[in-house]
Amino acid sequence: MNAHQQSQISKSSEAVVQAQLDAYNARDLDAWLNTYSENAEQFLLHTGELAKGHEAIRKRMEERFKDAKLHAHLNHRIAMDNIVVDHEFVTRSSADGLETVEMICVYEVHAGKIMKATFAFGQTRPA
């Protein structure tokens, strides 16, 4: 393998994360949740667990997926074996109108599903 060639594990992990992003942008909660393992965990970086398991993750995201303006723009992606890191700008509705929040999302993929997702939120700006 060429030193700059992506491994098959990286490619398949990246495909899972891309399917997750596509379902997020389609606001298809069932398809999005299907990219996560049944006992997946979501974390806020350096803060702790946000949700564990499909039921808790669904509950956390249901309202957000009702937002017709919800859209994540992928700025950059890095994949290394089963770890995928996305740098995104997420546009969403707020009480003050549209806003965009910068995010770093770190996904751990096992057996074709996201097992762990850790999020770091940056600045929120008017869209």
CATH of the domain at 54: 3.10.450.50
Residue 48 within any structural domain of the chain: yes
Residue 117 within any structural domain of the chain: yes
pLDDT at 1 over 80: no
**What pTM was computed for the model?**
0.93
Q: How confident is the model at residue 5 (pLDDT cuts 50, 70, 90)?
A: confident
Domain carrying residue 92: 8-126
Number of domains in the chain: 1
pLDDT (tens digit per residue) in 11-51: 999 999 999 999 999 999 999 999 999 999 999 999 999 99
Residue 57 within any structural domain of the chain: yes
Range 93-101 contact pairs with CB under 8 angstroms and sequence separation of 24 or more: 93/67, 93/68, 93/69, 96/126, 97/126, 97/127, 98/69, 98/126, 98/127, 99/124, 99/125, 99/126, 99/127, 100/124, 100/125, 100/126, 100/127, 101/125
Residue 42 within any structural domain of the chain: yes
